[in-house]
């Protein structure tokens, strides 16, 4: 049986978050997949609830080959939109572009802006586009999966809340 790189990426995220933000600083919870028998039918808003320093992230983990991931490959996108606009709750998409060894965080507000601008996908080409705020998370590839510095993500939002 071939290994599911998406599930392994989710597992790596969970481990890394727990190491970066141990109890009582942080907490991570994997939302169980519904067993309906149909792919992409989960009613969950995201893969994880991840908390650190008073911020709650709704994290949808995606791994993708190539330089862009189509919105059609992110069925949680509309459910993440339902959770935007709350204080200290940050829904978004964590994408590891595995062939490019780049990990990005796309806040759901930025994803919505892309979608409303007619974009069909979230791509690395957008990193140089000033109209979108996409965070490249510092990471280094260890064996097969990236070791990501999630403190960078937390600090970005903590600084934004202090402005």
Strand intervals (E) in the chain: 26-30, 48-52, 55-64, 68-70, 89-97, 102-107, 121-123, 135-136, 139-142, 145-148
pLDDT tens digits, one per residue of 6-15:
888 899 999 9
pLDDT-based confidence at residue 1 (cuts at 50, 70, 90) = very low
Asked if residue 2 has pLDDT above 50, the reply is no
What is the value of pTM for the model shown? 0.85
Supply the pLDDT for residue 141. Answer: 74
pLDDT tens digits, one per residue of 26-35:
999 999 876 5
Domain 5-30+42-161 in CATH 3.40.1350.10: yes
List own/partner pairs for 133-140 with CB under 8 A and 24 or more apart. 133/107, 134/104, 134/105, 134/106, 134/110, 135/104, 135/105, 135/106, 135/107, 136/102, 136/103, 136/104, 137/94, 137/103, 137/104, 137/105, 139/101, 139/102, 139/103
pLDDT tens digits, one per residue of 99-130:
998 999 999 999 999 999 999 999 999 998 89
Supply the pLDDT for residue 35. Answer: 56
d(CA 89, CA 36): 28
Q: DSSP letter string over 125-136? A: GGGG-TT---EE
Asked if residue 55 has pLDDT above 60, the reply is yes
DSSP lists the bridge partners of residue 68 as 123
d(CA 103, CA 100): 9
Secondary element (H or E) of residue 2? none
Q: Check residue 149 and report its DSSP letter.
A: -
Burial of 91 (0-12, 13-18, 19+ CB in 10 A): buried
């Amino acid at each position: 049986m071939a290994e599911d790189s998406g599930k392994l990426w989710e597992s790596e995220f969970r481990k890394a978050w727990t190491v970066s933000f141990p109890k009582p600083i942080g907490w991570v919870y994997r939302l169980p997949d519904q067993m309906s028998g149909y792919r992409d039918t989960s009613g969950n808003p995201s893969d994880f609830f991840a908390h650190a320093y008073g911020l709650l992230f709704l994290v949808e983990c995606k791994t993708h080959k190539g330089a862009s991931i189509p919105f059609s490959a992110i069925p949680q996108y509309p459910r993440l939109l339902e959770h935007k606009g709350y204080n200290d709750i940050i829904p978004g998409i964590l994408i590891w572009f595995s062939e490019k060894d780049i990990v990005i965080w796309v806040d759901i507000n930025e994803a919505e802006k892309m979608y409303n601008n007619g974009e069909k996908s979230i791509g690395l080409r957008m990193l140089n586009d000033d109209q979108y705020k996409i965070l490249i998370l510092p990471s280094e590839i260890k064996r097969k999966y990236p070791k990501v510095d999630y403190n960078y993500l937390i600090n970005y939002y903590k600084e934004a809340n202090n402005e």
